[in-house]
A and B are shown apart, each in its own frame.
Chain A
């Protein structure tokens, strides 16, 4: 009697576990099903490489949005990666563990702040600053990059700290025993040993930046054009979906789902690279 119950439980748990994963398939399936036929019908080349986005004329070229997404994400990396890695190194190598254990969760609160609040701060504080000091409309590629750079900080810092702490203490002791300073130990030993984890943290940050929507809509300005300067207003892939989804129908809606397909593919590639990098670190130990 007991054994039958036990087998039943195992089955139920297994089914639950697989249904959790089938949700992922369901998501991919429904988005692809809605978007992919459009890509075939319209032509992948036309869709990805044309700069003509005029839904009312049935022209759906997302090239400017692709370029904007790449620039905004790179910008976020330029702002967020050095700041985040520096913070992670300081907290894990220079600061006593007790302080690190308080500061790390505090910084992780940055991830808890809703993206609309980031967008709002961008509009109220950052955009006017940019407008006053550099000219242009303020709501721009630069503003989006800075806001996204801050938004990826908790991801970069938290995962970098984990991978830096995973470096065996004996490595550091060996280096310090040879007379190296803490900084020499960091850049000659610790960074090298935790490289793949730090890179993974940055890639995960990139994934977060490229997928961010609400904050970007609020600060990037949203005009469809290929940016020539950081002060130009841009529209990213995610912003394009969210801005037009509420009123799109027919082919226009399919084009937005196709944009979602492009986004989904990019994100899954980025996350796979990151998870390979993290796993490499674990298997090396």
Chain B
């Protein structure tokens, strides 16, 4: 017996709609769960005081510094590399074997799990280049990790700049680089910045790649060669070693707020960018 199309249609709506609602409900649950338990712990003192007794008491100030400085370093290294690469891919070459190789390479790089970046950063930066567990090793490792995201989003943003803009620039006698500098990059900027923001979000939440390269020292770093601990790593250690559930929730809430803030800003920027275009 066949079910009449009218009923399969209704069943499909219920099932597919249910799946969508479930997905949204999970997202909301995670955010609400962490914030509900963590917000009461969050306070000015918690954020800006030094931890005591391995994080059992006190605040998370050094990890706040670590969370700011590591992604910042990664962005400073990866942004010029990523933008130059995407300019080369979109403006300076036709589709050749070379660009195909570069593209395949960035795709591969994007799919590599963070633990592999951690292993690489450990053996290359920490051991071979003798940087030790440091902000520098961690920042370089994170830079490698976020590079594909920056290349891809920048390339998309550059390709979205209308062709006529380039033609006008060229017809005025501008060279390729002048066109890139004065016309293409300014117009692609919001898209590029969106990619950078998303990368910062990823770097803030990263644990596996950071713990093996930047280490987990709870002291305030004095130089770029000192080890540091990010909020994500601190949260992982507090939760896993059962040091303090209360402080774990507080750190998680700070982490979620930071990540959501960065990502929502990225979306807001992208939205403005798109609505300006159309």
The residues of A with any CB-CB pair to B shorter than 8 Å are 2-3, 5-6, 9-10, 12-14, 16-21, 23-24, 26-27, 30-31, 34, 82-84, 86-87, 89-91, 94-95, 103, 105-107, 109-110, 112-121, 123-125, 150, 153, 157, 180-184, 186, 204, 207-208, 210-214, 217-218, 238, 241-242, 245-246, 256-257, 260, 263-264, 267-268, 270-271, 275
Contacts and interface: CB of A to CB of B under 8 A. Distances in A.
B234 to A, nearest CB: 10
B119 A238 contact: no
B207 interface: yes
Contact of B23 (A157, A207, A238): A157
Contacts of B204: 114
A264 B252 contact: no
A257 B123 contact: yes
Given A30-B120, A116-B239, A120-B248, A86 B20 contact: yes
Contacts of B208: 115, 213-214, 238, 242
8 contacts: A10-B176, A95-B20, A114-B255, A115-B208, A184-B8, A211-B113, A212-B113, A242-B118
A89 B122 CA distance: 42
Contacts of A26: 120, 124
Contacts of B116: 27, 31, 211, 260, 263-264, 267
Interface of B: 5-6, 8-9, 11-13, 15-20, 22-24, 26-27, 30-31, 33-34, 80-82, 84-85, 87-89, 92, 101-102, 104-109, 111-120, 122-124, 128, 144, 147, 151, 175-177, 198, 201-202, 204-208, 211-212, 232, 235-236, 239-240, 248, 252, 255-256, 259-260, 262-263, 267
B131 to A, nearest CB: 14
A13 B114 CA distance: 27
Contacts of A186: 12
B177 A113 contact: no
A114 B206 contact: yes
Nearest to A209: B113
A107 B144 CA distance: 26
B5 A183 contact: yes
B115 A238 contact: yes
A171 B213 CA distance: 52
Given A5-B177, A114-B207, A121 B108 contact: no
B114 A211 contact: yes
Contacts of B248: 120
Given A17-B89, A91-B20, A181-B6, A2 B151 contact: no
Max chain B Cβ within 10 angstroms of own Cβ: one of A9, A103, A123:
A9
Top-9 shortest CB links A-B:
A211-B113, A114-B205, A86-B19, A90-B16, A21-B105, A183-B12, A13-B88, A16-B84, A271-B111
Given A21-B102, A115-B207, A27 B117 contact: yes
Contacts of A123: 239
B23 to A, nearest CB: 5
B240 A218 contact: yes
A256 B116 CA distance: 11
A283 B85 CA distance: 24
Given A27-B120, A90-B16, 19 more contacts: A13-B85, A14-B88, A16-B81, A17-B102, A30-B120, A89-B16, A103-B24, A112-B205, A114-B205, A114-B232, A116-B232, A124-B33, A182-B12, A183-B5, A183-B11, A211-B116, A213-B114, A267-B112, A268-B108
B111 A31 contact: no
